A and B are shown apart, each in its own frame.
Chain A
């Protein structure tokens, strides 16, 4: 049973516009959420994270929103740039445990068109 879901396999946006990537989770024990970005033939790289005690975290063009009651988070990229074209993975963890494992979604391929 998939605990972290990214229901949109792909998203296409125009340069300069907003990109919104969505993620849902089912495990109420998750209390830390992360977004990773992956280019072809490279390893995933950490982008931004949010703790469950917050509902928003911002880092430059990237903002993550968390709605705990809906078990939903989203990543906003404003403005989108062609270099943002990549696969984005949502991930979640239970920070209070002794083994720090991440559970990933299946990813969303973002294409930013010039």
Chain B
């Protein structure tokens, strides 16, 4: 069973502060993703990674950056958080590389005041 740990699970911060969310996996899957979920918008892809130091933008990447220095960790950074970034953030890994079937973490709820 794939293991994904997201941290922190809950965070409240103020506008303008930097925030980093961490996604840790235990099984060396190549592909990792960050999605955000918002009412009325479903799940939207922020950034994804296809290997160490290999990342690319998704459909809502503005205001976010990512890093992947190790296979097991994928970090999502909000350099200067805004209220529009209040959301639930999900990390995912690809289990079936040729189909895109994803396994999701439990989510990180971020509130930007």
CB–CB A43/B40 < 8 A: no
User: How many Å from the CB of A100 to the closest CB on chain B?
Assistant: 4
Look across to chain A and name the residue whose beta carbon is closest to the beta carbon of B38: A106
Q: Is the CB of B104 within 8 A of A101?
A: no
**One of B31, B35, B43 near A100 (C-beta < 8 A):** B31
Asked if residues B42 and A105 are in contact (CB atoms below 8 Å), the reply is: yes
B50 touches A34 (CB 8 A): no
Residue of B nearest to A98 (CB): B50
Q: Are B100 and A101 in contact (CB under 8 A)?
A: yes
Alpha-carbon separation in the docked complex, A32 to B103 (Å): 16
Q: Taking the complex as formed, is A59 at the interface, i.e. its CB lies under 8 A from any CB of chain B?
A: no
Chain A residue nearest to B41 (CB atoms) is: A106
CB distance B42 to A101 under 8 Å?
no
**Minimum CB distance partner of B59 in chain A:** A103
Report whether B42 and A100 are in contact in the complex, using a CB–CB cutoff of 8 Å.
Answer: no
A113 contacts the other chain (CB 8 A) = no
Selected contact of B107 from candidates A32, A42, A89, A106, CB within 8 Å:
A42
In the bound complex, how far is the Cα of B44 from the Cα of A60, in angstroms? 29
- Shortest distance in angstroms between B20's beta carbon and chain A's nearest beta carbon? 19
Among A51, A98, A101, A107, chain B packs the most CB atoms within 10 A around the CB of A101
Can you report 19 A-B residue pairs in the complex whose CB atoms are below 8 A from each other?
A32-B99, A34-B99, A44-B90, A45-B104, A93-B100, A95-B100, A99-B31, A99-B48, A99-B56, A100-B98, A101-B33, A101-B45, A101-B48, A101-B100, A102-B45, A102-B102, A104-B35, A104-B44, A106-B42
The 3 closest A-B pairs by CB, nearest first: A43-B104, A93-B100, A106-B42
- Beyond A89-B43, A91-B43, 13 additional pairs, beta carbon < 8 A: A43-B104, A43-B107, A89-B42, A99-B48, A100-B98, A100-B99, A100-B100, A101-B33, A101-B100, A102-B45, A104-B44, A106-B42, A107-B42
Chain B residues near A (Cβ < 8 Å): 31, 33, 35, 40-45, 48, 50, 56, 58, 90, 92, 94, 97-107
Q: Which residues in A have some Cβ–Cβ distance to B below 8 Å?
A: 6, 32, 34, 41-46, 49, 51, 89, 91, 93, 95, 98-107
